[in-house]
Chains A and B, each alone.
Chain A
């Protein structure tokens, strides 16, 4: 069955520190992978996506993610976190029916 796992429910990092949010997927074929960010009480904003090609994907707001097929992972990274990055982050895989399957989400808190 297709699934997405985000092992970390909550992460706290200091402002200016680097960030890595983990995402593992289970999918039988080459996946379409996404990272979304959700601010409190808001909808989702797409940070980046991977369809094919270069396994290191650049997104908005200084985020990047690396697709590693051998590890079934698509971890999100940012070299220097800003206080405004505090939010909920969702990893998702799109199945052949065009439906998004979301991970459980990781809540990011940023310490001053």
Chain B
């Protein structure tokens, strides 16, 4: 149980275009989903937290107009990178949590490799 999927696993796009990444909890309802960014050989940096039906909360330094997050249902959150540029190339990982309580386990998706050319 507790499987989180991401789609696509890899995407290559041209500079200036937008890319949407989906994160789904397959066998549980996720009240909260998190989006992380990971550069090569580096740690995960939290970008934003999204709760179903409400606006995402972005971490300091993350442009909310560039990284649009929609948590439309209890099983789906999407991250749209708008007007992507080469510096947006990275590994994006989502996680999902079943309850809102502190200490509840987060389940991670397999990640999406974005390359902007």
A83 close to chain B: CB less than 8 A: no
Size of interface on B: residues with Cβ below 8 Å to A: 27
Q: Is the CB of A104 within 8 A of B113?
A: no
The 8 A CB mask of A87-112 against B (1 = contact, 0 = none) is 00010001010111111110100000
Beyond A43-B93, A44-B93, whether A100 also contacts B106 by CB under 8 A is yes
- List B residues at the A interface (Cβ < 8 Å): 4, 6, 32, 34, 41-46, 49, 91, 93, 95, 97, 100-106, 108-111, 113
Give me 28 A-to-B residue pairs in the complex whose CB atoms sit less than 8 angstroms apart, sorted by A's number. Answer: A41-B91, A41-B111, A41-B113, A42-B110, A43-B4, A43-B109, A43-B110, A44-B93, A45-B108, A46-B105, A90-B43, A90-B44, A96-B102, A98-B49, A98-B97, A98-B100, A98-B101, A99-B34, A99-B46, A99-B49, A100-B44, A101-B46, A102-B44, A102-B45, A104-B42, A105-B41, A105-B43, A107-B41
Chain A interface (Cβ < 8 Å from any Cβ of B): 32, 36, 41-46, 49, 51, 90, 94, 96, 98-105, 107
